[in-house]
Amino acid sequence: MEAGDVFEPVEYVVTPFICSEYAHGVEENCEWFHSAETPAGRQIRPPTMIHVDKMRILEKNCRKEQRVSGAKGPHARIHYEYHARHHSPAFVGERLIVSGRITDKYVKRGRTYIDYALEVRTADGRLVTTYTDKTLLKYEKEAGND
């Protein structure tokens, strides 16, 4: 993975299971993520699931980063920064398209970082989320690499 690499997009349909399961896992009890009892009358995808979208797109595009499949790279990644802008909720039943690219890769204080930019839209083009992310590729510092 290098700066400038553009990911092949991933598509999926938002299901009641993935919304409720994710919300349950973070003890988010707002009913909007568990049923259609919402102002819109449709179950809503938790907004922080943009991070799951990151995992999906890495799974498809980076063989060494297939953490969803249980693969381990040579070094554990460590998430450093999350930045999501919400433009509209995504609802159960909608097909989402996640696209993105690597915006930068650099060494800072002996550690290698990688920056991503992602965008989530519905299949009919409505913008749902824009997202940027900083991740350390390896926690241990490289000797003499600054």
User: 56, 47, 33: which is closest to 129 by C-alpha?
Assistant: 47
Chain centroid to CA 98: 9
**Residues across the chain:** 146
We find the least distance from the C-beta atom of residue 80 to another protein, in angstroms, to be: 6
Integer Cα distance of 54 and 82 in angstroms: 11
We find the least distance from the C-beta atom of residue 81 to another protein, in angstroms, to be: 5
We find the least distance from the C-beta atom of residue 16 to another protein, in angstroms, to be: 11
Site for another protein in 8-67 (CB under 8 A): 12, 15, 17-19, 21-22, 24-32, 37-39, 44, 46-49, 51-52, 55-56, 59, 67
SS3 labels along 21-41: HHHHHCCCCCHHHCCCCCCCC
* Region of 1-9, 70-78, 99-107, 112-120 interacting with another protein (CB under 8 A): 70-78
SS3 131: strand
Q: Which residues bind another protein (CB under 8 A)?
A: 12, 15, 17-19, 21-22, 24-32, 37-39, 44, 46-49, 51-52, 55-56, 59, 67-68, 70, 72, 75-76, 78-89, 139-140
